[in-house]
Chains A and B, each alone.
Chain A
Amino acid sequence: MKTLAELAAIRDKMKAQVALREGNGNTRIVVGMATCGIAAGARPVLNAFVDEVAKNGLSETVTVTQTGCIGICQYEPVVEVYTGSDEKVTYVKMTAEKVEKVIKEHIMGGKVVSEYTIGASV
């Protein structure tokens, strides 16, 4: 089982990195986590984003946050991506399986995954 000593080791590692991150964090991934999102499967989607961000070493520039109901419940789970000065991109009917592609192509590659966006669904 994970011990407090291991947690302290993570702390020390993080503290060594903190200085590098000031002023970064310019990409935001926002997952809708109201009743509609949760019922539609937002929890595994959120966790997949957290895992993928960590796995690809993106946590210094990408933050994953939660929000309430975005107002388009029929398209939940809904994920909004804000990158630098670009416009907001809204991904709809997300699943944990779709997350890797969004991370690889959009967040890392700069190319929006159009087939998952709201524009492709209406």
Chain B
Amino acid sequence: MKELSLNILDIVQNSVKAGATRIEICLEETDERFSFWVRDNGCGMSEELLSRVKDPFATTRTTRNVGLGIPLLTLAAEQTGGGVSIESSTGEDHGTLIRADFNKRHIDFTPLGDIVSTVTTVIQGNPDTDVIFSHSAGEGRVELSTPELREVLDGVSLSEPEVLAWIEENLRGQYDQMRMF
């Protein structure tokens, strides 16, 4: 993947496929580290699937027998000296938490890229899912919560192009302010 934000979009698609109604995407960075986690309340993975999920020959897709999403993320993290961890449960509190840590100073660190586009793409495809996004870097913080927006929208869909344009501009405005710190 050319940008980490594309890996994040790809990982979130797993949450969508798991039937999640709530997806949290949290990014945290310091001068040296970049980390993100994605937590969903989807169906979760069995211990058996969880044990082989970093293997490219593990997949839930039916078009063929390979899945590259988690292996590609693992590669991107490990090549900087970081790593990926996954917890999942199929029990009453079902869901999955995936966390990836990166060494930002490493020459093989993939830049984050257009994360705003990733967030709007997730919301466009899943307007009825609760998406809670946050990104903190030093003193700066960007956040967006679709349950809060839905209260304002009063039945108007989050996938309306004008609503998506508002979300995109709101996030880009927050990032502009964050860069001032």
Give residues in A with beta carbon < 8 Å to B: 1-2, 4, 6-8, 10-11, 13-15, 18, 33-36, 38-39, 43-44, 46-47, 50-51, 53-54, 59, 64-66, 68-71
Pairwise interchain contact B177-A11, C-beta atoms closer than 8 A: no
User: Bound state CA distance, A14 and B176, in angstroms?
Assistant: 28
Pairwise interchain contact B6-A11, C-beta atoms closer than 8 A: no
Contact count A vs B, C-beta below 8 Å: 95
Pairwise interchain contact B72-A54, C-beta atoms closer than 8 A: no
Q: How many residues of B contact A (CB 8 A)?
A: 39
Give residues in B with beta carbon < 8 Å to A: 1, 6, 9-10, 13, 17, 61, 63-64, 67-69, 72, 114, 117-118, 120-121, 124-125, 149, 152-156, 160-166, 169-170, 173-174, 176-177
12 residue pairs from A and B, CB less than 8 Å apart: A1-B177, A6-B166, A10-B166, A11-B154, A34-B10, A35-B13, A38-B6, A38-B9, A39-B72, A43-B121, A66-B121, A71-B64
User: Bound state CA distance, A15 and B152, in angstroms?
Assistant: 12
